[in-house]
Amino acid sequence: MDQDNNSEEESVGISEDDAQQRYSHELSDMEAIEVLWQMRAQRRQTNPDLPNTVTRLTTPEGSVVYLVGTAHFSDSSKKDVTTTIRAVQPDVVVVELCQYRVSMLKMDEKTLLKEAKDINLEKVQQAIRQNGVMSGLMQILLLKVSAHITEQLGMAPGGEFREAFKEAGKVPFCKFHLGDRPIPVTFKRAIAALSLWQKARLAWGLCFLSDPISKEDVEKCKQKDLLEQTMSEMIGEFPALHRTIVAERDIYLTHTLRQAARCVEAPPNGQKVPAVVVGVVGMGHVPGIEKNWDKELNIQEIMSVAPPSRFSWVLRTVLKGALLGVLGYACNLLMASNVLRLKRPYIFNSSSVWLRSYSMDGMGTAIALRRSPLERLDFDNVVLRKLPVEGSEALGVRTVRGACFSRVKPQPLQNPRFVAVSGPAMELLSLSAEEVINDPLGAEYLSGSRVMPGSEPAAHCYCGHQFGHFAGQLGDGAACYLGEVKAPADQSPELLKENPSRRWEIQLKGSGLTPYSRQADGRKVLRSSIREFLCSEAVFALGIPTTRAGSVVTSDSRVMRDVFYNGNPCMERCSVVLRISPTFIRFGSFEIFKQADEFTGRQGPSYGSNEIRTQMLDYVIETFYPDIQQSHSDPVERNTAFFREVMLRTARLVAQWQCVGFCHGVLNTDNMSILGITLDYGPFGFMDRFDPEFICNASDNSGRYSYQAQPEICHWNLARLAEALNPDLPSDQAQAVLEEYTPLFNMFYLSNMRRKLGLLRKEEPEDEILITNLMQTMHNTGADFTNTFRCLSQISCPAEGEAVEDNEVVRQATELLLQQCSSLEELKAASKPTMDPRELSMLLSLAQSNAALFGMLSDRRTLARQLEKLSRLKELLESTETDLKTKQTEEWTCWIKQYRQRLARECEGECDVKAVQEERVRVMDSTNPRVVLRNYIAQNAIKAAENGDFSEVQRVLKVLEKPFCMQEGLELPGCMVRQGSEEAQEGDEEEEQREAEEDVTGAENKVIVSYDSRPPAWAAKICVT
């Protein structure tokens, strides 16, 4: 397992990150890597003075393996590991753990002690369910040994492995591997190899192992002569057990160490050089590894359990009863009381040392048998009972008629692992981020590689109008409904209002093929998954209704993607996002009943099944709008009230988007939630430089979903929903409701904007003009949307006796806002028409000579926008930087004077202007975010994650969780980006995107740009489709 670069431990010497920051201003990426490689080589001791517990092994290629023999309850073993890793600076660290015990690496001592001592009925049941009766009970008894020693010593085993994990994280380029055979395989093979009499004797000995043990006793386990004596006695009493638990694992560990000792590539030319490996294993395995080191090994023979013969099965079934009675009685005793502390002599005198030495496997059992927190989720999958589910479970893409859901099977991923987990989102499910991350099965469950108990994977069928045209059946092509998790009983009133169903639907996005995948593969990649994950949580933190994202998991499975749509695809990692919402039903869910569209000829797959539409409408209102259901007995009145509420929520939502500069990018009807919350984060974008025609989706050539078009598009989508609900919602009733939309949107928008401007006490008709003038000034000067509003709280109300147009106050405010304005070169780049001049000339000619042909190729709004850009570009080309600065100063000075006059009226009649100002600043700073998810911030985190470093995603998440960050003096972290000319570069879209990504990842001439700064000029080149 490669260790992610997200350790919070302090480093010894200079760390990789420190080196990058120290040299980044003068070194390229490859040069920085070479410097780190050389630094590590200098710190590596050629003839290290190592503890006597270290054995040196070599390979024919010249690689060196330093094998540290340890006792699992030993402080001195931890010191031996630390000394060895620091001295030899390894390429790889291999530890005697498997994937079922990996979570102990991140657990603290207190948690481990609790796990070792906590033996309960649930763990017994889990052990039997995973491994069978015999193996399961034997695991529990071995766990008791570990618990006994843990209690005697007051410390948890495996400290040397946690120390190795920590120290490996401090060595540049060091990988961390799990080297042991999976513990279920070991136990199953061990139990299968014993006779019934041997199982009984071993169980009896384990049950009554209770003599005192000291740290000195444990240290004796590191002495080779004592271990040799112990092993010889064990072989005499339990040869089969020694073979499976010791000898076979010696073979497996030897194989893993030899794999890790393969040559590694050295920068800058990738030349193969011998590797240095540190192996951390129990001292009892060292002799076997030495013995096997130069032998040919067959791993397959020790990885499977042969099925018993029929006669053997019958005989064992008859004889198991008596033995199970003994084991069951023993387990009951060890769970119910302290009877097992009786000071009885050991049945296996010398073998007790072996049992103590290998009690680490008992600790592994404790970790492996911990019930996954995700298995505690209480599912109540109501929607699958209330709405029709397709009868067929066949694989393959198809048209699904007469059903709202299809059952599916998520496809597993190779080596799934967490990129990040959102604590606030997981709290909705009564989980913490820490317990999910530490769950050995967490990444498997939340990637679809394993199905949670109680979940019922399904895909939702819906249709949609895409870019204004009905597309027919769409559906969850890459998403998978897992089920509905009951909310905690103590759910807050706010959450209860948001989600009256008291259930949270959880969904995996990117979990594989469904009947709705069309020509796609049902997968999502790391880029889009990180963007959706971060933006879902960022929008929530801004106070905007949204679906949530609990986690993002990536894997070693890969799919091919054409990033730039230019015919040059590449392989990218499959990744999965956990999405959480009261429901994912959307406008398009009701469009599956649509008749054939007059323009596209497509119809909904369930056209004519009107009873299902009524059934779905009843379910949505009863479940998510219970107040409306209870207050209306007449169906038409109820449905009209429901539509009015959806309209109101949608108007409020888009007003909130507009006020933070958020552009959704793909406002098709299939991306509009029936709850009025933000749904489906694709090519979204937060505006940097204010532009009312801002288009965040590079595929939206017509600007249909531009920033300024969003309110009207949402109104259009509501009209399509009304059509889909007819006749349950009569058209005349729907039209009357739709006429209320624009006044409501304007009301919400003005209310939010007044708060952003700190106009809290009075509402004046002129406020709308003031806001319009602000937007125009921002557009003309190329001001940054987010930062400009944040700066406004620093413009104070005129004090008593202070002139509204005080020149010094206005000058300071103007200088503050000018810092957020674009340079001449940035404005030139932004004003450049996207159309080729020859194409633009042709369209102009067609618009005058052949209106019909012109209408087929473009539209007048697009042409007007291009001409406006061309006109502005011409003006800018004739200007100088000084001319622009003068004009920007004039425009801001004019608006600030208007604003100060309005603030003066705000304070009229107030005796305490200072209190008014303090309230304004408080409200404005909690309304105008200091940081949003800008594209370059997301891209920086994505590139780091694609290189295996998830720490930037996690850091960005923490910042976005507190976007208002009230302490202005507090420095926010930032991205390391290239410092260079702001001049816009010529070239096609793909080349500009490549340059932008190089700016994110390159190390040359870089500076730290705080997350709340204006973005670097090259950020405008990043395009998302």
The CA-based angle 380-383-388, given to 5 degrees, is 135
Assess contact for 112 and 362: CB atoms under 8 A. Answer: no
Distance of CA 18 to the CA centre of its chain: 26
Distance of CA 879 to the CA centre of its chain: 46
Single-letter residue type at 258: R
Q: What is the Cα–Cα distance from 921 to 792, expressed in whole angstroms?
A: 9
The residue whose two tokens read 């820490």 is 434
Name the H helices within 337-422: 351-357, 360-369, 382-386
Residues 6+ apart with CB under 8 A from 389: 403, 404, 405, 406, 407, 458
Residues 6+ apart with CB under 8 A from 345: none
Q: What is the Cα–Cα distance from 892 to 818, expressed in whole angstroms?
A: 8
Would strands 64-70 and 276-282 be described as parallel, antiparallel, or unpaired? parallel
Phi, psi of 684 (to 5 degrees): -70, 170
CA-wise closest residue to 218 among 107, 87, 356, 324:
356
Q: What is the Cα–Cα distance from 204 to 183, expressed in whole angstroms?
A: 22
Distance of CA 619 to the CA centre of its chain: 31
The residue whose two tokens read 């604003």 is 899
Give, in order, the Cα–Cα distances in Å from 303 to each of 129, 288, 363, 767: 20, 18, 21, 75
CA-wise closest residue to 939 among 685, 689, 706:
685
Assess contact for 510 and 640: CB atoms under 8 A. Answer: no
Phi, psi of 276 (to 5 degrees): -115, 125
The CA-based angle 366-367-369, given to 5 degrees, is 65
Helix (H) or strand (E) holding 439: none
CA-wise closest residue to 647 among 582, 569, 699, 587:
587
Residues 6+ apart with CB under 8 A from 853: 846
Q: What is the Cα–Cα distance from 428 to 438, expressed in whole angstroms?
A: 18
CA-wise closest residue to 347 among 210, 538, 443:
210
Q: What is the Cα–Cα distance from 459 to 397, expressed in whole angstroms?
A: 12
Q: What is the Cα–Cα distance from 426 to 411, expressed in whole angstroms?
A: 23
Single-letter residue type at 6: N
Considering 250, 670, 728, 999, which one is annotated as catalytic?
670
Q: What is the Cα–Cα distance from 998 to 1010, expressed in whole angstroms?
A: 19
Assess contact for 40 and 171: CB atoms under 8 A. Answer: yes
The yes-or-no answer on residue 225 being catalytic is no
Q: How many CB atoms lie within 10 A of CB 168?
A: 23
Assess contact for 600 and 472: CB atoms under 8 A. Answer: yes
Assess contact for 181 and 252: CB atoms under 8 A. Answer: yes
Residue 95 burial class via C-beta count within 10 angstroms: exposed 0-12, middle 13-18, buried 19 and up: buried
Residue 216 burial class via C-beta count within 10 angstroms: exposed 0-12, middle 13-18, buried 19 and up: exposed
Would strands 64-70 and 54-58 be described as parallel, antiparallel, or unpaired? antiparallel
Residues 6+ apart with CB under 8 A from 501: 382, 484, 582, 583, 623, 624
Q: What single DSSP character describes residue 247?
A: I
Active site residues: 670
